[in-house]
Structure 1
């Protein structure tokens, strides 16, 4: 398996964890009442706390960006693209997303945006490696 495909797997795990953590923060899944909410149909959820809202938005953004990353990485693999730009771009994207989640949850706005831009640069490098 190529390093880029391994990053697709790692990114899938990171995305799933982000969605899971955001969900647990929203319902306070570590409490008995939160566990009941988490196991239920999620009807009548309480309003999200500021950190729960940020965690949900960060997870949603991660999911949206994972779709783009996976599509580009899988096309690169199918096309047999061996450009170092593809692998380097994938690494940049992945590590930027690892940083993005805690920075977004912490509410550090400008740094969050800068990290997001770095992840987009990683995607752009991957695409340029395909052309």
Structure 2
């Protein structure tokens, strides 16, 4: 389970820093400034930002469930791995704009969180 948590933290790094920075290189001066103004961004950058916000909303619950499972001695590693796979695929679909598959992947990740909670109860 520890490895899955580390992989999910790596995905958070991709979501919140690596991908947005790489898609916004033309505004590098803005990225290293105080960011007092605003800059024009691309549609892909905006989708990546929304995907990151979505990840942030479910990531806390995922971490809590993983840590609880470790504390209680219940193995949820398979379900947690599925959640991570759904979230990686979700990011890819959100970035390139595949809406229906993206929604199905989000529902799959939500189902994993619900399954993890049920297994802990």
TM-score (norm 2): 0.90
Gaps of 5+ in 2: none
Unaligned segments of structure 1, at least 5 residues: none
Is 2:66 the counterpart of 1:68? no
Partner of 1:5: 2
Number of aligned residue pairs? 120
Partner of residue 96, structure 1: 86
Partner SS, residue 34 of structure 2:
coil
In 1: Cα distance, 2:14 partner to 2:63 partner = 17
Q: TM-score, normalised by structure 1?
A: 0.84
What secondary structure sits across from 2:48 in the alignment? helix
Give me the whole-angstrom Cα distance separating, in 2, the residues matched to 1:51 and 1:71: 30
Query: 1:118 is paired with a residue of what secondary structure?
Result: helix
Structure 1 vs Structure 2 CA RMSD:
1.4
